Amino acid sequence: MATKPNDPNESNESTQNDSGEGTFETDVSETGEDGTTVRQAEVKESDLSEVKKDQS
């Protein structure tokens, strides 16, 4: 799986979330009844928890 630090030059989003922690994008695999899917998610550097995005 590939990880990619967020580059402010590639996006308007900051590499820090509201609490000031750095984040990066990585692939996340999820296994369910219909098989395994892989998606990209932004996670915190400190504990790898996913950063929730506004869907608005």
Residues 38, 29: contact at Cβ < 8 Å? Answer: yes
Kindly report, residue by residue over 1-24, the tens digit of the pLDDT: 566 665 554 544 445 555 567 999
pLDDT > 70 fraction of the chain, expressed in percent and rounded: 57
Question: What is the predicted pLDDT for the residue at 13?
Answer: 47
Q: What is the pTM of this model?
A: 0.52
Positive or negative, the CA dihedral 13, 17, 7, 30 is negative
Question: What is the predicted pLDDT for the residue at 52?
Answer: 82
Bridge partners, 25 (sequence order): 4, 42
Question: What is the predicted pLDDT for the residue at 6?
Answer: 59
Question: What is the predicted pLDDT for the residue at 14?
Answer: 46
49 pLDDT exceeds 70? yes
